Structure 1
Amino acid sequence: MLTGLSIRNVVLIEALDLAFARGLGVLTGETGAGKSILLDSLGLVLGDRADAGLVRAGEDLASVTATFEFAELPDALRAALADAEVDVEPGEPLIVKRRVKADGGSKAFVNDQPVSVALLREMARSLVELHGQHDDRGLVNARGHRALLDRYARAAVGEVAEAWDRWRKAEDELATAVAQVEAARAEQDLLLAHLAELAALEPVVGEEDELARARADMQKGEKLSDDLSALQHLWSGSDSALATLRGAARRLDRIANEHPLLAEALESLDRALIEAGEAEDRITAAVDALAHDPLALDRIETRLFDLRAAARKHGCTVDDLPDRMAAMRTALDAIEGGEAHIAALQRAAQEAGLDYRAKAEALSVTRAEAARRLDKAVAAELAPLKLDAAKFHTAVVRLPEDRWSSLGVDAVEFLISTNPGADFAPLAKIASGGELSRFILALKVALAEEGGAATIIFDEIDRGVGGAVASAIGERLARLASAGQLLAVTHSPQVAARGNAHYLIAKSSEGTVTRTSVMLLDQAGRQEEIARMLSGAEITAEARAQADRLLEQA
């Protein structure tokens, strides 16, 4: 609820700090005192358009700060703040601030974090519900009527939404499967041809790299063939270097015992022979690895060309070709088994559709029954509010199938007829300002709405009425406020007497400077203000006595 409102340099208000509590708060004052300035100021923090005309004359900047406190943030408000990445700790007050410059520029903040004006407008639905002479929001807006009726009926909207989601999902799965089968069937011949080509090719993952290495080795062998032949000649034959070393080793072995140096020489020669033998083996292996076989090279290059050509054709790498083959087989299998799969999906979609229809029909019945109860409840409130010639009707209309949704198959709108025999029409189109506010009050009382805005404001709901009607309005405002917070701008002493808190709005002048102030009245102040409202400029003893009676009856 709204717990504080601080205004700086807005039109006639230089500096004003107000505290609000639960229950019914009434704001009174003479015409032109500045009640509209308070509402305009509150409208700024609720996202209304910034108007440079709101900045007090001679000042550069106007600002309005509203403080809201909740035992627990409403779900819609929490979601809006989370989407905007605004952090609000549990139990922490929500402080909304708007600054307007004299040139019309404005900035908005929530808990000192800069935010967009669009966020303020989204938050406003959970913060303040304003009903005034030209209100086009809240209960007047037909877009919210279905949700209000469902809340009044305690309807199982969640079950319908879940059934709708299941039906949509089943229909989407069916449409996807049908599209896949149709696309595959259109390409069936091409798939068969491509699969036959790849099956004949038999690509293997890693084969490209192996072939490329083998080709590279053969190409190197071709370049090194003369050197390799010369090396092999050096190491083979009776006149090779290795044969000479071996002969030297045999001769040295016969005389090695004759002197230690000869034995050491033999050992060195043996080591050399071992190393030379290993070198010979490696050279032989290299000759084999680098063997240049023109026919084998041609086969390798042909294989590489075929694999890479197939990869280009299918827009993938050579290593991806086996997966492409598997995908083609899957697509062909889908064609063969697609009809059975589609039939199963069709049955599932049909069952989901029937389930949705059954739950939506049950919801329609619940809505129709609740609409009759609501019409009766509102009708009971109209006569005391001097609307006894008017009629109220909750229209529950079946929508065409293409407009069904998770909210069901109905459109809901609150309609009124203000004169006997007149057609029913939307609230805002045929009700005058005063009638509209009283219709809304009747609706609010009948709905006993839960889950609406934290604070409700009625602006001059009692315009043009008095006596018993004003008393009825005051009694209903107090009843609504008992469960939360309601602020009423009023000219009616009967309404003012019902308030838990009474704020007096006054205008004063000093020379050429005019200021608006707001004062929280004590009991004596309330008596005096209500007496003024009863008698006018000259407050009489009879007016004070009548004010006392109104306050005692409240």
Structure 2
Amino acid sequence: MLIGLEIKNFAIVSNLSTEWQSGMTAITGETGAGKSIAIDALSLCLGERAEASAVRPDTERAEICAAFDLTSLPLAKQFLEQNLLSNDEQECLLRRVVCKNGRSKSYINGSPVTAAQLKELGQHLISIHGQHAHQHLLKSEHQLQLLDAYAGHHALVDTVRTHYRNYHNLQKEFTILEQAQLQQTAQKQLLEYQVAELDEFALQESEFTQIEAEHYKLSHSQTIIDACQRELQSLYENEEQNACSLLQHSAQQFAELASFDENLSGVAALLEEAAVQVEEASREIRNYGEQTDLDPARLDEVEARLAGIMDLARKHHIKPEDLVDFHQNITQELESISNNSARLTQLEGEINQALAAYQQAAQTLSESRHEAAQTLNTLISASMAHLSMENGVFEIALTPQPEKAPNSLGFDNVAFLVSTNPGQPLQPLSKVASGGELSRISLAIQVIIAQKVTTPTLIFDEVDVGISGPTAAAVGKLLRQLGKSTQVICVTHLPQVASSGHQQFFVAKEIANGETFTQMLPLSKHGRIDEIARLLGGDNISKTAKANAKELIMAHA
């Protein structure tokens, strides 16, 4: 419940502080005085879009603070706890600051929050019905939302929405894959040919490097063999003279000289070691030559393999050493395309299951809507009679269309039908209801739904436009009755409605030093009589008007 509202530098308000009570509070005032200013400020404090024009001219910023009693608001408490914004008190303080550049800051219990968080919390605190609310009543989607709100279909609607989203996402995936598959048909054929060719060639990892090295060796085999034989003769096998025998001879000579000078013994040892090394090298050369044969057939085989590698590399415009990676990549790409076909088949089954689940949830919702509609038909028709539409009949026409494309609200088409005169057939609201009738029907629906939907504070901003006389009295009685269970705040220009309030504020506009100021003052019992009399008879308040005003107020005592 709203218990306090402070407004600073907002529009034509300089400084305003008000306290609010339970029951029905009426707000009246002169035309153009800004009777809705408090509601506009409260809307801003509850997260509505902030604009620089909201800041009073020649001031730096506007500030609005709203205090709420959370004693009977479990959902609001839950929101605060979940967002770590609760305090030890049963009160909650919302604050919104708007700078003259249009930027704003939001606070809950002193902690900075986003405007979206303010708005989410505000849904658990206040419901505002504007003077143009009846215009939304002509829209089918809004009619469905009203019916669901009255029936408490939050869980059912969420279930339908969840199944719809699942169905929608699967359909989207199917469409994307199907389009991709159509575009990839030619690509798949090319990939199948390329992969088959590379599979048949079966090039192995590092094979190109190995076969390139083997080809180089085989193509120079004769040169290698000839050189090995020639050098083997020079090093060891030439009987007349070879390097090994020369080294051995020199080693022997220096060994003999070392007997005369020990310094030459090291030279002898080095020469002997060199001779051993040459002999070992010669043995290696001999073994290599014995194991190395000219193999023209292997050379042809290697050349053919190498030529195949080079041809494939040129064909795919890549380096030979990248051919294996290329083979792996196009194989994976082909598998991906093939998997798409399998996924499409799988998706068809999942889509059918999702559609069946959606239709089942939508059917459950539709059946519950029909039950709630029957109750609402009776209640709204009865309320219309109280609002001077004695012969009025209201009916919610629901037409299930399970064959239509799924949507998040189910498969029901809804139409609010009305007959305001005997013998007149039921027709859509937009065709038969006048502005005043539509306003009354809208008010009846809002009040009935408000009684079923737990909202701590209901604000009606001139919803009584277009009505007068006995109808206005009935509206006032309806709002006062609603105020017994819910805090009701009503901006009105009708004395019959204003007199129904448990308390009343008067909004006045003053001009001082070229500036406009708006004030909202609580009225005493005598003040209420004067204000109701003004609404009845104009600025010149007569004794008769006062008497009538007193009678109106006393009628609700």
Give the alignment's TM-score, normalised by structure 1.
0.69
- Structure 1 residues 520, 151: CA separation in 2 closer, same or farther (over 3 Å shift)? same
| Aligned twin of 2:518 | 516
Instruction: Return the alpha-carbon distance in structure 1 between the equivalents of residues 444 and 482 of structure 2.
Output: 10
3-state SS in 1 of match to 2:407: coil
| Aligned twin of 1:404 | 406
| Aligned twin of 2:198 | 198
> What is the CA-CA distance between 1:405 and the residue it aligns to?
1.9
- What are the superposed Cα offsets for residues 299-347 of structure 1, whole Å, 9 maximum, x if unpaired? 4642431342454499x95313145346657877998xx7xx9877656
Provide the aligned length of Structure 1 versus Structure 2.
527
Instruction: Return the alpha-carbon distance in structure 2 between the equivalents of residues 67 and 550 of structure 1.
Output: 33
Instruction: Return the alpha-carbon distance in structure 1 between the equivalents of residues 276 and 528 of structure 2.
Output: 120
Instruction: Return the alpha-carbon distance in structure 2 between the equivalents of residues 244 and 138 of structure 1.
Output: 118
- Maintained 8 Å contact 1:27/1:490: yes
- Maintained 8 Å contact 1:129/1:455: yes
Aligned 1:108-123 pairs, distance under 5 A: 108-111=104-107
| Aligned twin of 1:28 | 28
Instruction: Return the alpha-carbon distance in structure 1 between the equivalents of residues 85 and 220 of structure 2.
Output: 76
Instruction: Return the alpha-carbon distance in structure 2 between the equivalents of residues 261 and 114 of structure 1.
Output: 97
Instruction: Return the alpha-carbon distance in structure 2 between the equivalents of residues 64 and 9 of structure 1.
Output: 7
The residue type paired with residue 491 of structure 2 is V
The residue type paired with residue 442 of structure 2 is I
| Aligned twin of 1:376 | 378
> What is the CA-CA distance between 1:283 and the residue it aligns to?
11
Instruction: Return the alpha-carbon distance in structure 1 between the equivalents of residues 250 and 524 of structure 2.
Output: 130
Aligned 1:540-551 pairs, distance under 5 A: 542=547, 546=551, 549-550=554-555
Larger Rg: 2
- Structure 1 residues 120, 146: CA separation in 2 closer, same or farther (over 3 Å shift)? same
- Maintained 8 Å contact 1:14/1:515: yes
| Aligned twin of 1:319 | 325
| Aligned twin of 2:11 | 10
3-state SS in 2 of match to 1:319: helix
For 2:492, which of 490, 493, 498 is the aligned residue?
A: 490
- Maintained 8 Å contact 2:52/2:98: no
For 1:305, which of 307, 310, 317 is the aligned residue?
A: 310
Aligned 1:37-48 pairs, distance under 5 A: 37-38=37-38
The residue type paired with residue 377 of structure 1 is L
- Maintained 8 Å contact 1:161/1:406: yes
Instruction: Return the alpha-carbon distance in structure 2 between the equivalents of residues 283 and 530 of structure 1.
Output: 127
3-state SS in 1 of match to 2:493: coil
Instruction: Return the alpha-carbon distance in structure 1 between the equivalents of residues 214 and 67 of structure 2.
Output: 78
- Maintained 8 Å contact 2:252/2:268: no
- Maintained 8 Å contact 2:42/2:66: no
- Structure 1 residues 145, 202: CA separation in 2 closer, same or farther (over 3 Å shift)? same
For 1:447, which of 439, 446, 449 is the aligned residue?
A: 449
Instruction: Return the alpha-carbon distance in structure 2 between the equivalents of residues 40 and 432 of structure 1.
Output: 28
Aligned residues: percent identity? 27
- What is the root-mean-square deviation in Å for CA atoms of aligned residues? 5.7
| Aligned twin of 2:363 | 361
Instruction: Return the alpha-carbon distance in structure 1 between the equivalents of residues 477 and 234 of structure 2.
Output: 121
- Maintained 8 Å contact 1:234/1:241: no
For 1:413, which of 389, 412, 415 is the aligned residue?
A: 415
Instruction: Return the alpha-carbon distance in structure 2 between the equivalents of residues 422 and 10 of structure 1.
Output: 48
| Aligned twin of 2:389 | 387
**Structure 2: runs of 5 or more not aligned:** none
- Maintained 8 Å contact 2:500/2:553: no
> What is the CA-CA distance between 1:408 and the residue it aligns to?
1.7
Instruction: Return the alpha-carbon distance in structure 2 between the equivalents of residues 377 and 185 of structure 1.
Output: 62
For 1:146, which of 132, 144, 147 is the aligned residue?
A: 144
- What are the superposed Cα offsets for residues 159-202 of structure 1, whole Å, 9 maximum, x if unpaired? 43444455556666776787788788877865654344223211
3-state SS in 2 of match to 1:35: coil
- Maintained 8 Å contact 1:496/1:530: yes
- Maintained 8 Å contact 1:437/1:458: no
> What is the CA-CA distance between 1:489 and the residue it aligns to?
0.6
Instruction: Return the alpha-carbon distance in structure 1 between the equivalents of residues 330 and 34 of structure 2.
Output: 77
- Structure 1 residues 50, 252: CA separation in 2 closer, same or farther (over 3 Å shift)? same
For 1:131, which of 129, 140, 147 is the aligned residue?
A: 129
- Structure 1 residues 475, 313: CA separation in 2 closer, same or farther (over 3 Å shift)? farther
- Maintained 8 Å contact 2:27/2:504: yes
Instruction: Return the alpha-carbon distance in structure 2 between the equivalents of residues 310 and 242 of structure 1.
Output: 55
